[in-house]
Amino acid sequence: MCFRKHSLLYLVIILLCGATQTVIAGVAYQYRTADGSIIFTDEPLELPNQLVKKMTLNWGDVKARKIKKQIVQPKKANVAAKSKNQPKFAAIVDEKAKKYKVIPELLHAVIEAESAYDPDAVSRAGAVGLMQLMPATAKRFGVTDRTNPSQSVEGGAHYLRVLLDYFDNDLELVVASYNAGEGAVVKYGRKIPPYPETQNYVVKVMKFLRRNLKKSQARSLSSTVAQTNSQGS
């Protein structure tokens, strides 16, 4: 009799645990990103990402499992490899910069700020690759593989060319638009939107750009001096 009671008790515990397993719920967030992409995350994002809805999901449901598979799995950029990766992709940057008439110093600045030259980086918002392209932006500029360095720089350079034309070469507005979308910049009177992420991003990219231009000028001056000395000898 005692054994039977214990057996029943264990059976009830097992059933309760099983029931608990089936109703375990998770939280998912659906966002519309700056370029119009719709993504799912398991944690809140900041502006310029716009929250569509917050969902409490039972992972036992078919619909919930589908959403779970779409939740962004971020991968931090390997900053330690930046010094090794930068020269590796320099030829691609030069090629795309020439093709779209964008100064390579700007392309390098954006890549450094976006991914630290890590082609496998994935942001919390689902941006992928060297130039951290979102799905809608990639589609807009014909990028089929966002992890492919050549395609990523191609798409990013093309987008920057469009933004440079649209904002009359105002670099700060171009950089702000790359982060927050041109719609946000227009919405706020063609000024940098009041999003902390975007404002910090503009400061960072412009800092890298000034440094890159300074280095390029120094190399150019050094080359000119070397040529002059060579001609005089």
| Among candidate residues 113, 144, 104, 149, the one with its CA nearest the CA of residue 130 | 149
Inter-CA distances, 195 with 90, 126, 162, Å? 31, 19, 22
State in Å, rounded, how far the first CA of the chain is from the last one: 110
Q: For the chain, list the domains and their CATH numbers.
A: 79-218 (1.10.530.10)
Residue 116 makes CB contacts below 8 A (sequence gap 6+) with 77, 78, 79, 81, 82, 85
For residues 128 and 30, what is the distance between their CA atoms, to the nearest angstrom?
A: 18
Question: Is it the case that residue 6 has pLDDT exceeding 60?
Answer: no
- The catalytic residue among 105, 114, 154, 182 is 114
Token reading at 112:
């450094």
28 or 228: which leads in pLDDT: 28
Report pLDDT for 232.
Answer: 60
Paired residues of 27 in beta bridges: 56
Region 215-220: what's the mean pLDDT? 86
- Residue 206's φ and ψ, nearest 5 degrees, are -65, -35
- Residue 75's φ and ψ, nearest 5 degrees, are -135, 115
For residues 48 and 42, what is the distance between their CA atoms, to the nearest angstrom?
A: 17
Region 76-83: what's the mean pLDDT? 95
Mark whether 114 is an active-site residue: yes
CB 187 within 8 A of CB 193: yes
Buried-exposed string 50-83: b where 16+ CB fall within 10 A, e elsewhere: eeeeeeebeeeeeebeebeeeebeeeebbeeeee
Q: What is the pLDDT of residues 159-181, one digit of tens each?
A: 999 999 999 999 999 999 999 99
Q: What is the pLDDT of residues 94-137, one digit of tens each?
A: 999 999 999 999 999 999 999 999 999 999 999 999 999 999 99
Give the DSSP letter string of 109-153: HHHHHHHTT-TT-B-TT--BTTTTB-HHHHHHTT-S-TT-HHHHH
For residues 131 and 108, what is the distance between their CA atoms, to the nearest angstrom?
A: 10
Region 197-204: what's the mean pLDDT? 98
Q: In this structure, what is the dihedral angle of CA atoms 159, 161, 162, 164, given to the nearest 10 degrees?
A: 120
